[in-house]
Structure 1
């Protein structure tokens, strides 16, 4: 995959995909997310955080993805990529089948593409102010963009901790957790997300469409 890093194109070979779940720093927030998903039938995790494995083929920069269910939705997450011993930070969506999630979170992670940004930051440039970074997402339910998520990385376990516990190898991409959905988890075709660095005054943005395929039997 080709990403832009500091204005230059760089090729990354994504061999492993890890999805870190239940990563809120405040355990009350973890419980809030557990309760949020319990409303749609998702069983609580065995431990927190958890590091789910999924196919590297799910990582995509496509502006449109196809899903098999009317029960999928996106969620904004920091994206860490490790390559040649270096770390990079971007943004991605852990697009998930919520109905399947009620059966198995691990299985639900495997059935939807994971759209990611085309731009990355050198992790070393943000390592000293990670808690100042913010992530946001918006959905369009037919009347224009409305805020769907908003949070600070200060609300997520330190990314350095997740990197260590997730055992990132070269060629790994990891989605690092999210923040609660404003108004509850729900399906929309249009999804937009960003990560903002107020210290260096820059933003990475990404948006995509998820189109439903017909279900035949």
Structure 2
């Protein structure tokens, strides 16, 4: 098991991670998703057989880190929120900020492969989902690549946490140790996503509180082969 630790209103909650799932093509408007799938297909990214998608990745890929090693310069993050099932009760479901770092060169050969090639970076603080459930669509999601804002939106643009909770329950995965990332919102095409750093913030306009995760990329040496 790979433990994550969260500050939840001053309380430290440790979660031994057993299952990690990445949502994909998870926009609230599936008509817009279909258009996006068509655009990606023109770039060589294989189209899914259904949307939204759910990609299992290795549990050790859920990280709380400030540095991400990469093999080349065609990788980038994605602003997301994450559900973390910390215990058996409803109040044990945590909501935090996340960045799904993805290998874009590998993505054209298979989205699932590209998800497995990079980590899911999570923030060190979290909210209990029950505490923000009444205003979850108002929460904001913002990302910066290399210091430039590349994504900005609200959770209303994505399928809601309850959708994914129902999906997990149906699949027998709503259990302690499960982490699920939401899928992402559109990027600003004018901003270079292949930057040397990423920062993502999940904000609550009602309280002014913000959860964040931030990391730099570390280019690994060339292989000797």
TM-score in terms of structure 2 length: 0.89
Contact kept, 8 Å, 1:33 with 1:180, in 2: the verdict is no
Q: Distance in 1 between matches of 2:23 and 2:175?
A: 15
CA RMSD of aligned residues (A): 1.5
| Mapping of residues 171-210 of structure 1, within 5 Å | 171-183=177-189, 186-210=193-217
Contact kept, 8 Å, 1:119 with 1:204, in 2: the verdict is yes
| Mapping of residues 97-108 of structure 1, within 5 Å | 97-108=103-114
| Mapping of residues 1-217 of structure 1, within 5 Å | 1-38=4-41, 40-85=43-88, 86-140=92-146, 145-166=147-168, 167-183=173-189, 186-216=193-223, 217=225
1:125-177: CA deviations, max 9, x gaps? 0111111111010111xxxx211001111110121011211343221001011
Contact kept, 8 Å, 1:40 with 1:98, in 2: the verdict is no
List alignment gaps of at least 5 residues for structure 2: none
List alignment gaps of at least 5 residues for structure 1: none
Q: Distance in 2 between matches of 1:149 and 1:118?
A: 21
Number of residues of Structure 1 aligned to a counterpart in Structure 2: 213
Per-residue deviation at 1:74? 0.3
Q: Distance in 2 between matches of 1:147 and 1:37?
A: 22
Q: Distance in 2 between matches of 1:38 and 1:196?
A: 33
Per-residue deviation at 1:59? 1.0
1:96-127: CA deviations, max 9, x gaps? 00111100111111111111100000110011
Q: Distance in 2 between matches of 1:197 and 1:33?
A: 28
Q: Distance in 1 between matches of 2:33 and 2:84?
A: 24
